[in-house]
Amino acid sequence: MTVTTTTHLNFRGEAREALDFYAGVLGGTPTVVTYGQAHDPQGQPDHVVWGEVQAPGGAHVMAYDVQTDREFDPGVNAVYVSLRCDTAEEVTRAYEGLAVGARHVRTPLGPSAFSPLYGMLTDRFGVTWVVDQRVEFSAG
């Protein structure tokens, strides 16, 4: 059996825009199903009932628009999305792309104690991203 973890982001009317944005940063093409397409009366017909971006490099993000009759609070620091990249070029590209219109740069891109290149920011949709270069650690 193979099990993977995928970050699922919740929005209120911004899921399609967010998926398009993340596809532009990470690569891949967004897949979107609206409430109208699914004949689901619980949401706005043009809002996203299910969506995802599966990037060729392995990044995978899912998103949907919370139904208007449900309480929605995106929270504060409830979820960080971590992108672990193999190269400094991948880290830089992802970080700089996510930084466009960012609400808050929490840690500017640079070396850290655990990675040659690391940065943290809250993007224009209020999602906090941690982007770093993968390092293999030995046990012990």
Same fold for the pair 7-65 and 80-133: yes
Q: 22 exposed, middle or buried (CB, 10 Å; 0-12, 13-18, 19+)? A: buried
CATH code of the domain made up of 7-65: 3.30.720
Q: What is the pLDDT of residues 67-118, one digit of tens each?
A: 888 888 877 665 789 888 999 999 999 999 999 999 999 999 999 888 899 9
Residue extents of the structural domains in the chain: 7-65, 80-133
80-133 CATH pick, 1.20.1250.20, 3.30.720.110, 3.40.50.300, 2.60.40.1190? 3.30.720.110
Tokens 């949907």, residue located: 64
Q: What is the pLDDT of residues 13-31, one digit of tens each?
A: 999 999 999 999 999 999 9
At residue 53, φ and ψ (nearest 5 deg) are: -125, 120
Longest CA–CA span in the chain (Å) reads 54
pTM of the predicted model as reported, rounded to 2 decimal places = 0.78
Sheet bearing 80-85, strands edge to edge:
80-85, 128-133, 118-122, 104-110
